[in-house]
Amino acid sequence: MRIEQVDLMQVFANQPRISRNRKNRAAGYSAFGRTDGGRAIRVNFRYDPASRAARPISAWEDQ
């Protein structure tokens, strides 16, 4: 099933577990959380401190 922008917004709104990604990766952080419908999604993202925004790099369904 395709992951839409609304899914990513729900994951970040539902207090995901966030960790640092491996060194020298395009995405500095990884978030694991669930959508409002219960889908488990992992998102690799960059954090921009100037705008306080998460910029998703990749996302996929997890278990």
Residues 30-58: tens digit of each pLDDT: 999 999 999 999 999 999 999 999 999 99
Quick: pLDDT tens for 1-14. Answer: 899 999 999 999 99
d(C-alpha 26, C-alpha 30), whole Å: 11
Task: Quote the pLDDT of residue 60.
Answer: 97
Residue with tokens 């921009």: 48
- pLDDT beyond 90 at 25: no
CA atoms within 13 A on the CB side of 22: 2
pLDDT attached to residue 19: 95
- Give the global pTM: 0.85
- Quick one: pLDDT at residue 24? 74
